[in-house]
Chains A and B, each alone.
Chain A
Amino acid sequence: MTGSVAAITHTIAAPSIEWSLLSPLVLVFAAATVGVLVEAFAPRDLRRALHIAISLGGLAGAFVLTIVVAHSHIFAGGKPGVVAAVGAVAVDKPTLFIQGTILVLAFVSVLLIAESSHDAFAAQAAAVPGSAAEREGLLAGLTHTEVYPLTLFSVGGMLLFPAANDLLTMFIALEVLSLPLYLLCGLARRRRLLSQEAAMKYFLLGAFSSAFFLFGVAMLYGYSGSVQLAAIATAAQSGVGSATLLYAGIALLGIGLLFKIGAIPFANWKPDVYQGSPTPVTALMASCTLVSAFGALLRVFYVAFGQLTWDWRPVMWGVAILTMLVGSIVAITQTDVKRLLAYSSIAQAGYVLTGVIAANTAGLSGSMFYLAAYGIATIGAFAIVTLVRDQTGEAAHLSSWAGLGKRSPLVAGLFALFLITFAGIPLTSGFTSKFAVFRAAIQGGALPLVIIGVISSAILAFPYVRVIVLMFFSDPAPDGPVVVRPSGFTSAAVAVGAAATLVLGIIPQPLLNIANHAASHLFVR
């Protein structure tokens, strides 16, 4: 016994951490930590400005570092990718594309969070809604500036989630991205009870799905004796071991991942959470979290279960069909603008799933392009939602949007543009991205899925067109909502969203080329 312990002590070798490869991640986490220190030491009236500078600077710096990593380590060596931190993190072309997308989307989301002309965040989230303590906080002009470090921690987790090369790292990334989000959901300044309900639901269901994920990891470890994705793939290829453990592991892990992307039947949280959360946080979740979760889903199913396509594909077919149809049909009945966008987000997740099911390079590049185009447009749409306000805050009910086109043609026109791109009308990014994933799905032999996808898009166009008709062809109510004049932050977010939507619709080729190039070798193991 003592002999074996002594033998082990001699084999300890300091692991090597390739800090340069992990620099984007490290920078985001470092910025978040500095944010916590700002919260601790900076005087109250300086905090907000400091936070905005640190957050935007950190995200922009991380984006630059991502490009540097791509150029110096990947393209220079002509390699599809490398593995860092003793196999825990994979830095390859698709991951770098996904991380770059997340960073851009997070930057634009932070612009929305930084809007000051109408505060989205609670004065004191711990105060009981409607209590004297809450009024005190509001009168004192407090606001939660912890939002910025929390966002950065969450974005850090999102960057690690699709890059994780073993399932334990992936689980930790999942928790790091989720825990700050649960908190952020409960910080809405108005309609506090709805916001707290959203945070509670997201937390309980999220913890539940994390348990599924972890149980799946345990099953796969039992099957292959490793949590490394590559080792699981090798074990699955050799066909030794209990197939029951393998299939149970795939199913449980799949549930954990499909919950995060919000695929039916695991999307019950999405409408409630999107509705109750502060709208800038909803924008962050609808864009960055979706991209990150799809990145992880793609990696797990392409790398670990890449040899088992014929086993998981039928189930994924079912999930994709349900997601597309339920998302688009239930969207018709929605009367709340944020719930409408939430069901739209569910249906869009279904379209991306058709790209995942293709399980080829075209599917990967199509999915990545779709996520980038949809993410930026959805932030724009939620940015518009923050601007249309009545006495109670955001004018949530769709009926109060009637006649908006006559009062504020620009804002209504931009919202119509975002709805049109969600519907996939040509000359917008929505059309290009749908075309990319559906073409990949046909190549992958999933024609029926594409037919259902097109039917679902047609169904989904109905609620969008209804909103557009409502905005432009009905008379505004006399006490209807007003469009507040935003500061430069929100205007910039809307402008970036609208510009990207049009540019990616008219000249999509540059980004498509990057996505194709990034997907050309799939993921490294």
Chain B
Amino acid sequence: MGHYVPILILAALATVFAVFSIIAGALAGPKRWNRAKLESYECGIEPTRQPAGIRFPVKYYLTAMLFIIFDIEIIFLYPWAVYFDKLGVFGLVEMVTFIATVLVAYVYVWRRGGLEWD
């Protein structure tokens, strides 16, 4: 158990520090509120309220996500292309398997209308 004493001391110190900071801040800190301070923080821009219940098109998000799939496929193709002759039949079989699985994902997206913009 001796090994755990430093960890326990650290945990106790961390707890005491956190509790102390919160209490000390609440007691000692000046409380001069104004409108800007009470607003939610949005990187300096004045926040605008979004109308509730309105849906935003997520087409760009879908396209970006699909791009990543093919992007990664290409990333794997490059090193294989460089060492194609050294990797031989094994490399070819693995790569064909890999491209076939990516193709399955592509076919799914295409058939289920993921590539249609409207």
Interface residues, chain A, CB within 8 Å of chain B?
9, 12, 14-15, 33, 36-37, 39-41, 128, 311, 314
| Known contacts A9-B86, A40-B107, A311-B3, then 10 further A-B pairs from the complex at CB < 8 Å, ordered by chain A residue | A14-B89, A33-B101, A33-B104, A36-B108, A37-B104, A37-B107, A40-B108, A40-B111, A41-B107, A128-B55
Q: Chain A contacts of B3 at CB under 8 A? A: 311
The chain B residues found within 8 Å of chain A, CB to CB, are 1, 3-4, 55, 83, 86-91, 101, 104-105, 107-108, 110-112
List of B residues within 8 angstroms of A9 by Cβ:
83, 86
- Contact call B108/A14, Cβ cutoff below 8 A: no
Specify which of B87, B89, B101 is in contact with A12 (CB 8 Å cutoff). B87
Nearest neighbor of B110 in chain A, beta-carbon distance: A40
Interchain CB contact under 8 A, A314 and B4: yes
CA distance A440 to B97 in the complex (A): 45
A135 to chain B, nearest CB (A): 15
C-alpha gap A524/B73 in the complex (Å): 34
Cross-chain contact B90 with A40 (CB below 8 angstroms): no
Would you call A36 and B104 a contact (CB within 8 A)? yes
B69–chain A nearest beta-carbon distance, Å: 13
In the assembled complex, the CB of B44 is this many whole angstroms from the nearest CB of chain A, namely: 27
Q: Which residue of A lies closest to B106 (CB)?
A: A40
- What is the distance, in angstroms, from B104's C-beta to the closest C-beta of chain A? 5
In the complex formed, the residue of B with least CB distance to A315 is B4
Given contacts A33-B101, A33-B104, contact A14 B55 (CB under 8 A): no
Check if B87 sits within 8 Å of A14, measured CB to CB.
yes
How many whole Å from B63's CB to the nearest CB in chain A? Answer: 16
Name the B residues within 8 Å of A128 (CB-CB): 55
Which A-B residue pairs are the 4 nearest by beta carbons?
A14-B90, A40-B111, A40-B108, A12-B86
Main secondary structure of the interface of B (DSSP, over half): helix
Task: Give the residues in chain A near B87, CB-CB below 8 Å.
Answer: 12, 14
- Decide: A14 and B112 in contact? CB cutoff 8 A: no
Nearest B residue (CB) for A311: B3
Q: Which A residue's beta carbon lies closest to that of B82? A: A9
Q: In the complex, how many angstroms separate the beta carbon of A380 from the nearest chain B beta carbon?
A: 34
B86 lies within 8 A of A41 (CB): no
Q: Whose C-beta in chain B lies nearest to the C-beta of A16?
A: B90
Task: Determine the distance from Cα of A14 to Cα of B86 in the docked complex, in whole angstroms.
Answer: 8
> How far is it, in angstroms, between the C-alpha of A39 and the C-alpha of B110 when the chains are bound?
11
Q: Roughly how many angstroms separate A36 CA and B101 CA in the complex, as a whole number?
A: 10
Question: Among B86, B91, B110, which residue has the most Cβ atoms of chain A within 10 A?
Answer: B86
Q: How far is the CA of A14 from the CA of B104 in the complex (A)?
A: 26
* Interface CB pairs A-B, < 8 A, 22: A12-B83, A12-B86, A12-B87, A14-B87, A14-B88, A14-B91, A15-B90, A33-B101, A36-B105, A36-B107, A36-B108, A37-B108, A39-B108, A39-B111, A39-B112, A40-B104, A40-B107, A40-B108, A128-B55, A311-B3, A314-B1, A314-B4
Residues of chain B within 8 A (CB-CB) of A14 are: 87-91
Residues of the B chain whose Cβ atoms lie less than 8 Å from the Cβ of A15 = 90
Residue of B55, B83, B108, B112 with most chain A CB atoms under a 10 A cut-off? B108
A41 to B110, CA, bound (A): 10
How close is A44's CB to chain B, nearest CB, in angstroms?
Answer: 11
Name the residue on A nearest B112 (C-beta).
Answer: A40
Give every chain B residue within 8 A of A12 (Cβ-Cβ).
Answer: 83, 86-87
Closest chain B residue to A14, Cβ basis: B90
Please name all residues of chain A whose beta carbon is closer than 8 Å to the beta carbon of B105 when the two chains form the complex.
36
Please measure, in the bound complex, the distance between the C-alpha atom of A41 and the C-alpha atom of B83, giving whole angstroms: 36
CB distance from B27 to the nearest CB of A (A): 30
Complexed CA–CA distance, A36 and B83 (Å): 32
Whole-angstrom distance between the Cβ of A265 and the nearest chain B Cβ: 13
Q: Most chain-B CB neighbours within 10 Å: which of A12, A39, A40, A128? A: A40
B108 proximity list for chain A (CB < 8 A): 36-37, 39-40
B94's nearest neighbour on chain A, judged by CB, is: A17
- Shortest Cβ gap from A476 to chain B (Å): 41
Complex Cα–Cα for A153 and B17 (A): 46
* Chain B residue, CB-CB nearest to A41: B111
Report Cα–Cα, A101/B12, bound state, in Å: 43
Question: For residue B101, which residues in chain A have a CB less than 8 angstroms away from its CB?
Answer: 33
Within the complex, the shortest CB–CB distance from B61 to chain A, in Å, comes to 12
- State the CA gap A128–B107 with chains docked (Å): 27
